[in-house]
Structure 1
Amino acid sequence: MTTPIRVDIVSDVVCPWCAIGYFQLARAVRDTDIKIEVHWNPFELNPAMAQEGENLRAHLAVKYGTTPEGSATARTRLTEMGAALGFIFNYADDMRMYNTFRAHQLIDWAEEQARAHEAKMALLAAFFTDRRDVSDVRVLAELADDIGLDPRAARAMLDSGERADAVREKQRFWTARGVQGVPAMIFERQHLVTGAQGEATYASILKQLKAAQAA
């Protein structure tokens, strides 16, 4: 019997390609029937983002020079890809980009209670599907409640900032090892794969690693 393949995923909860990449990986897992053990790791696309956030389209125009036409094309593509993978992107012109540092603290806290994956999935859906403010402590406490954690304890943790240093240290750990963009997936602590590479690529990687386990 082989052990599950460890996959460290470095990502942000407001990164659409991080959502696509994970669900492509999940599809590859389903298709190959190869078990994995996912560990979520923090990355902030916009660490200096103000707490009130910014209009998403305006933010992308300033940061990447994205035109309205380019934004519309990208949103359509992501929406179609997400739908094919079972994830809903629900873009709107008034959608906002938010600071995600508190969201990563929630995931870090949830990890201690074996709920990191549920927290990550809830945050992705909250931002992309429900267009909720994932920097808002009240929203984060509600999401904690949704996945079976104590919302009052979640809010107290976020208000205290007790997880801040741990999250910063995890961010430094991965950037020091060359992770500059996301999604980044590290298979078995050795093999770094960046970007959303598609189900076929992930399936091939999983098969190779499983074969190596059996060798």
Structure 2
Amino acid sequence: MSTNAPIVIDVISDVMCPWCFIGKRRLEKALMMLPESTVKVQWHPYQLDATLPKEGKDRKKYLEDKFGGPERAEQAYSHVRDAGAAEDIDFQFEAIKKSPNTIDSHRLIRWARSEGMQDAMVEELFKLYFTEGADLTDKQVLVDAAERAGLNSKLVSDLLDTDQDVKEVEADVFRAHEIGVTGVPFFVIDGRFAVAGAENPETLAAAIRHAEETKTGE
């Protein structure tokens, strides 16, 4: 195993994707299985529905359009609830009133990277949306979330009023499609190995271990 640079795990994800929240928990468990490993996790944007307007869409209408109604949505989400419960995630889908366009959330995550606070930012957004039903298109909700994650809330507030990094986020999403990502979460380990979906911790840990064992010296 190389003792040089850390193994980089690039996670392509969307904050309105429940399986991405589950995948985050499973990745955390995988890393706990590898206490001797040096790993760097980086989060990258994806949009499950880039057609959503900037102000979002009424959740009932969104479910009607996507699933044919809330009853069918609940059927689709029952497996997600069970998987979430196994990871100590208490999904509160009924509390969500608006399906958001997540471009601004992804901008926050991008800005958090330079501060070394990406994990905290991603965690905050997942919890807000899935356990509190927060409106991720509400500027104040995002500013408060950024502050709790450790970012400069005044700077974030000012930047959200601009188009700063909108095109960069959109370009990142496009690149994800270019490399063949059609669903999230999607894990790229050491730039060489891909794991699609919220795989169990053992599978993720094995992939990371394999990346370490096959990493060439630098």
- Offset at 1:89? 1.3
Q: Normalising by the residue count of structure 2, what TM-score does the alignment of the two structures yield?
A: 0.88
Determine the structure 2 residue equivalent to 1:92.
94
Assess if the C-alpha contact under 8 Å between 2:59 and 2:98 holds in 1: yes
Secondary structure of 1:32's counterpart equals coil
Assess if the C-alpha contact under 8 Å between 1:157 and 1:163 holds in 2: no
In structure 1, give the amino acid aligned to 2:163.
Answer: G
Q: Call closer, same or farther: CA 1:162–1:75 in 2, change over 3 Å.
A: same
Find the partner of 1:7 among 3, 6, 9: 9
Partner Cα separation in structure 1 for residue 96 and residue 122 of structure 2: 24
Find the partner of 1:143 among 139, 142, 145: 145
The reply on whether 1:103 has 2:105 as its aligned counterpart is yes
Partner Cα separation in structure 2 for residue 18 and residue 103 of structure 1: 14
Q: Call closer, same or farther: CA 1:120–1:93 in 2, change over 3 Å.
A: closer
Q: Normalising by the residue count of structure 1, what TM-score does the alignment of the two structures yield?
A: 0.89
Assess if the C-alpha contact under 8 Å between 2:96 and 2:130 holds in 1: no
Determine the structure 2 residue equivalent to 1:54.
57
Q: Call closer, same or farther: CA 1:94–1:119 in 2, change over 3 Å.
A: closer
Q: Call closer, same or farther: CA 1:18–1:210 in 2, change over 3 Å.
A: same
Assess if the C-alpha contact under 8 Å between 1:57 and 1:93 holds in 2: no
Stretch deviating more after TM superposition (204-213 or 153-162): 204-213
Determine the structure 1 residue equivalent to 2:195.
193
- Offset at 1:145? 1.0
Partner Cα separation in structure 2 for residue 61 and residue 196 of structure 1: 26
Stretch deviating more after TM superposition (100-109 or 200-209): 200-209
The reply on whether 1:203 has 2:205 as its aligned counterpart is yes
Identity %: 28
Q: Call closer, same or farther: CA 1:84–1:94 in 2, change over 3 Å.
A: closer
Q: How many residues align?
A: 214
Secondary structure of 1:209's counterpart equals helix
Instruction: Indicate the RMSD between aligned Cα atoms, in angstroms.
Output: 2.2
- Offset at 1:211? 2.2
Provide, for residues 82-101 of structure 1, a one-character-per-residue CA deviation record: whole Å limited to 9, x for no partner.
23223331221653211101
Unaligned runs of 5+ in 1: none
Determine the structure 2 residue equivalent to 1:118.
120
Find the partner of 1:36 among 35, 39, 57: 39
